[in-house]
Chains A and B, each alone.
Chain A
Amino acid sequence: MTATTNAPPTRKRSHGEQAAPPGRRRSLGDLKVAMIFLAPATLGFVVFYIWPTLRGAYLSFTEYSLLSAPKFNGLANYERMLHDSFFWNALVVTVEYVVINIGVQTVLAVGIAMVMYRLTKSITVRAVILAPYLVANVVVALVWYWMLDFQVGIVNQGLSWLGIDPVAFFGDSHWAIPTVAGINVWRHMGYTALLVFAGLQTIPAYVYEAAEVDGSTEWKTFWRITLPLLRPVLVMVLVVTMIGSFQIFDTVAVTTQGGPINATRVIYYYIYERAFTRFDFGYASAMALVLFAILAVVSLVQLRLLRAKESDLA
C-alpha cells in the first residue's frame, strides 16, 4: 500500500495532539480508510442496535404473536398497560428490588473499600472479593437457592442452631424480593468495592494529613472529606449499577419464576413471559419501550441531582 501521509510530520506536535488541517484539500482526512476500519462495527451498530430500536418502537404499536405478521393496533397496547395490574405490580416489585439492591450494595461497597484501603492493598484479597463476579448470575442464583432452602438449606440449619425459626427465603412473599436482592448484592459487592477502591486511590494524601492536623476524627473525615471527594466515582457507579439492576432477570428465572404470589415478577421477567410464552409480543414490546423511557428518565435525574458539583477537589 502506498504512503498516504498528507503532510510531513513536524516535531512541534506533542502526544495525542492533532495538527491543524491547513486547507480544504485535507478536509476529508482519512475518511476512506476510516470507513474500512469502521465497516464491521457500523454494520453491527446499525443492524443490531439502531434497527432494533426503531423496530421495537414500531412493534409496540402492533399485535404480534410471532406466528403471523404483526397487526397494527394503534395505542391499544399502551391502554392495556394502564389497566394491567401485573404490569404495575412488576414496576413496584422492580423498584423495590432496585432500592434494596443498590442501597445495600453501595453502602457495603464503600465500607469494604474503606476497610481495604486502611488495611491492605493485597492483590489476593482484592481478587477473592472479586471472585463472585466472575461466575454467571444463574450459577450464583442456584447455589444460593440450594443454601437458602427452607427444609434442607445450610443457612436455615445455621439459624435453627442459633435458635431462630427457619425462614422461607424464596417461599415467603415478604422475603422473596429481599432475598433476590441479597443474592445479587453478594455477587456484585466485591466488584463495586473495587471500583470505589480505585476511586479512593485518587484522593491525594495531603487532604487526609490536613484533616488530621485539624484534629478531625476518622468518622468526620469520612463524611466531610472522603465521601464528597468520591462523588464522581460514586455517581458513575450508581448510574450504571442502577441501570443494570432494573434489568434483573437471570436470578428470578432460575429460582422463583415470578412467585410466590407475584412477589418477584419483575418487569424484565414479565416482558419475557408475555413475549415468549403467551404469544403477546407486541404488548411486550410496548412494555420494553416504557421501561426504556423510565430508565432514561431515572438516569438523567440521577446525573442531574448528583452532579450538582463536579469533583470537590478543586
Chain B
Amino acid sequence: MTNISRRTLLKAGLAALAVPSVAACNNGAAARGDGEIIYWLWDSAQLPMYTECAKVFHEQNPQYSVKIEQYGWNDYWSKLVTGFISDTAPDVFTGHSSKYPLFADKGQVLPIDDYVSRDNVDLSIYQKGLADRWIGNDGKRYGLPKDWDTEVYFYNSAFTEAAGISTEQLNSMTWNPQDGGTFEQIVRRLTVDSKGRRGDQPGFDKDNVKVYGLGYGDAGGGDGQTSWSWYAASNGWKYSEGEPWGTKFFYGDPKFTETIGWWRSLITKAYMPTYAQAKSGVDVTTSFGAGKYAITPNGSWMLGTYGGLKQVKTKLARLPLGPVGKRMSMMNGLADTIWAGTTRRDASWAWVKFLGSQTAQDIVAKAGVVFPAVAASMPAAKAAFAKSGWDVTPFLEPVEAGDVFAYPANPNAADVTAVMTPAMDAVMSFEAEPASLAKANDDVNQILSANS
C-alpha cells in the first residue's frame, strides 16, 4: 500500500539523516588523552613557529602533547566566550591586555603564582616591565610574557626620496600640538595633489589629493595604539591615574584634547584622508601598498604584512620627539593564559612555562615574525628581521630608553571602548568637537565607579 511505503520512506529518511547528526553531536573533546592540551592563537603568521615549539615541547615532555588551533581575531574571541559559557574552552590560549582582565574578573583564567614560585620561574629574563603587565587588578599573575610590540612609522621610501627628504630628517622629527613640528612639515611635503603639487607648494588643491602624507585606519577608540597614543604620551598625558588598572581616566584633559584637535586638523589641511575614506572597504595597509599614503604608523606585528607589499619599498622611521623631550611609544605584549576550567592543569602549566622560556622564544625569534619577550632572544630576532630586510632599531630604542607606557588595561575595557570609540569616531568625522571628549570621559569614569 502506498501509504505504508511512504511512511517507511519517511522513517528511513529520518534515520539516514540522524546518523551523521548524532555523530556530529559529539564535540570530540572526550577522545583526548590526559596529557593532550588544546592551544588557541589568532595570528596565522605565527602558526608555523608555534607548531615547531609544540614539537620541541613534546620531545622534552613526552607525556604531554599540544594541539594548536587558529581562528581569526573576531571569531577567536566569540568562540572563546562561547567556550567559557559551554565549558568547552581550550586549555591554554593567547591572551590580550584588553581582554584578559575581564576574564580574570569572571574567574575564567587561572592564576599561576603558585606554579611560578613552585618552579622558581625566573622573571628577570623578560624585557623590563613585561612580566608585571600580566599581574591583574587583584594582584594575581595570569600569564608569562611571550612577545612585545611598539610602534614606529612605516614610510614609502620612493616618495620620501622624490620629495628630497633624507633619512636623518625622518629619524629626527619633532612634534608639538600647536603646529605639528617638523613632523607636520614632512607630512605636508609628502602630500601630493592630482596635478603633482605638494602640500607646501602654492596652488595645492585640497580637494583632489592623490597621495596623503599620513594615513590611518580608524579613530583609535580608547587606546589609539597605532594612531595617536605616542603624541598624547609625549605631550605629558596619561590615560588614567593608575597605569594600568586606572579607575579614573583623563580623556578630558587639555593635553589630550589638544593632541586630538591637532591630529584632526590634518584632515582639514588634506594631509590625511577623511574618516569615511579611511574606514571604507580598502584597509590602511592595502592603501599604503597601492601608493595612496606616504607614511602610516603601525605596530611591529605588522612587519610581515608590510613586507608582503611588493609594490612599495617600505622603511622604518622613529616616532617624533614630543614636548616633554622624549620619543615615547606604547609597549604592549601578549602572554599565554590558562583556562580556569581546564582539567589538565599540570600539562597546561608545563606548556605555558615552556612558551615563556628562552628555548621556545629562540624558536619564535628565529621565525622573524614578532619580538620575543625574553631579552636574551632578541639578538636572534633582530638578525631574522634583518634577513627580511628590516632594521628594527626604531622599535627597540624606546624600550631601551625606558620611554614606554602600558596599554590601558582594565576589567571594564569593553565599557570604556563602547564609550570612547563612538566619541572618537564622532570627533574624527567632524560631528563633534575634541572638547566633547570631556563628556565622554565623564561617562567612562561614571561607569568605572559604578562597577567598582
Binding site for B on A (CB under 8 A): 65-67, 85-86, 145-146, 149-153, 168, 171-173, 259-262, 276-279
Contact = CB atoms under 8 A, between A and B. Distances in A.
B279 A260 contact: yes
Interface of B: 78, 81-82, 84-85, 102, 106-108, 275-277, 279-282, 414-415, 418, 421-422, 425-426, 429, 431, 443
Contact of B81 (A151, A152, A168, A276): A276
Contacts of A172: 276, 429
A171 B422 contact: no
Given A67-B85, A152-B281, 13 more contacts: A66-B85, A67-B84, A67-B106, A150-B276, A150-B280, A150-B281, A171-B279, A171-B280, A172-B429, A173-B426, A173-B429, A278-B415, A279-B81
Contacts of A151: 277, 280-282
Contacts of A277: 78, 81, 414
A173 B431 contact: yes
Nearest to B107: A67
A154 B277 CA distance: 16
Q: For chain A, what secondary structure do more than half of its interface residues adopt (helix, strand, loop), or is it mixed?
A: loop
Contacts of A152: 280-282
A65 B275 CA distance: 36
Given A173-B431, A276-B81, A277-B78, A150 B106 contact: no
A260 B84 contact: no
A73 to B, nearest CB: 14
Contacts of A168: 276-277, 279-280
A286 B228 CA distance: 38
A261 B422 contact: yes
Contact of A261 (B81, B82, B414, B426): B426
30 contacts: A67-B106, A67-B108, A85-B443, A150-B277, A150-B279, A150-B280, A150-B281, A152-B281, A152-B282, A153-B281, A168-B276, A168-B279, A168-B280, A171-B275, A172-B276, A172-B429, A173-B425, A173-B429, A173-B431, A259-B421, A259-B425, A260-B425, A260-B429, A261-B422, A261-B425, A261-B429, A276-B81, A276-B82, A277-B414, A279-B106
Contacts of B277: 150-151, 168
Contacts of A276: 78, 81-82
* In the A-B complex, the 6 residue pairs with the closest CB atoms: A150-B280, A168-B276, A149-B281, A171-B276, A261-B422, A66-B85
A66 B87 CA distance: 11
A168 B102 CA distance: 34
Contact of A259 (B82, B280, B414, B422): B422
Nearest to A146: B281
Contacts of A153: 281
A262 B106 CA distance: 27
